[in-house]
Amino acid sequence: MTTPPTTAPADVPPPDAAPADTVIALDVGGSRLKGAVVDAGGTAAATVEWRLTPEDGADAVVTSVLSALVNLRHHPAAAHARAAGLAVPGLVDTTSGRAIWSENLRWNDVPIRALAEERTGLPVALGHDVRAGGLAEVRAGAARGADHALVVPVGTGIAAAIVVDGMVIDGRGLAGELGHVDVGYDEPCACGARGCTEAVASAAAIARRYTRRCGLAVDGAADVLERKHAGDPDAEAVWAEAIDALSRALATACSLLAPEVVVIGGGLAKAGAELFDPLSDRLAGRLTFQDLPRIVPAALGDRAGCIGAAMMARDLVERGGTHS
């Protein structure tokens, strides 16, 4: 059974002090729902988290998402909420307001926006989690001020929010699949193709490839990095290949999109200079006439999706509630 939403401790103002013109925001992850009530100035008046158990099936996930939104709607700080922002993973059709598909959440063509609007009584802005996070990083995070940027969370998979002229492009809900660019490693990918960036360079791939190479189980990419520090040549090779694969994908993105800045987020960004220095060097070595972008760590961490969802809700209010 899906864990019922439970409100985490939050700094809750009394209802009569609830800020006017607030929005509510929810970021749906693979194992967690992150919610917030955000005031007109962009400050979170409250943040709430819930566990999510997608193994209970799509219906339970939808119930949990809607319950979380209703819970946020009734939060004392949200008394004057004007809209909700909802960021979800997988394929999203922002025109029809449907969550088309998510492998993790096991849902399939759910009219989630209409359901959310019905349950909350608010206009709901629906978007993709990676693109919501990219929106947050470009407006208020590590890509702030850039007209052209890539925001790339590297975790279990790899995706990108593509920022063009200061806007995150949606591409019919399909744009930004940087993890599925062929970087020449001929490694099979979960998508069915071979050579995809995320089959070599995602945090999950780094752990998996290390284990396959030397038969030793590891506790994620961080563990591989530890072993590299300790002088393990297999760890060193797997790490170097991940950096190389990622540099190839970024070089391609530079040729096509000319970002001024590339923001790397997700679990792998925690590697710090071990990631950023060789990645920048490799990328510089691949580019000729193209501009070398700055490569910087994400600034908003795992709150980016929720902050971006709040921005989407705010944009919806500014558009007078009309879905774009």
Task: List residues near a copy of itself by CB under 8 A.
Answer: 147-148, 160, 162, 164-165, 169-172, 174-178, 180-182, 184, 189, 191-193, 248, 251-253, 255-258, 260, 286-291
- If one counts every other C-beta atom within 10 angstroms of the C-beta of residue 38, the result is 27
Q: Which backbone phi and psi does 271 adopt, to 5 degrees?
A: -70, -15
CB of 60 to a copy of itself, least distance (A): 25
Nearer to a copy of itself, 70 or 191 (CB): 191
Nearer to a copy of itself, 224 or 279 (CB): 279
Nearer to a copy of itself, 147 or 226 (CB): 147
CB 246 within 8 A of CB 154: yes
CB of 168 to a copy of itself, least distance (A): 11
Q: Of 275, 263, 251, 249, nearest to 308 (Cα)?
A: 263
Rounded to whole angstroms, the Cα distance separating 39 from 43 reads: 5
Nearer to a copy of itself, 203 or 251 (CB): 251
CB of 102 to a copy of itself, least distance (A): 12
- If one counts every other C-beta atom within 10 angstroms of the C-beta of residue 59, the result is 12
210: exposed, middle or buried (Cβ count in 10 Å: 0-12, 13-18, 19+): buried
Nearer to a copy of itself, 182 or 234 (CB): 182
CB 60 within 8 A of CB 53: yes
CB of 38 to a copy of itself, least distance (A): 27
CB of 184 to a copy of itself, least distance (A): 5
Q: What is the DSSP string of 51-74?
A: E--GGG-HHHHHHHHHHHHHHHHT
CB of 310 to a copy of itself, least distance (A): 23
Rounded to whole angstroms, the Cα distance separating 276 from 261 reads: 13
Q: Of 146, 128, 126, nearest to 138 (Cα)?
A: 146
Nearer to a copy of itself, 224 or 251 (CB): 251
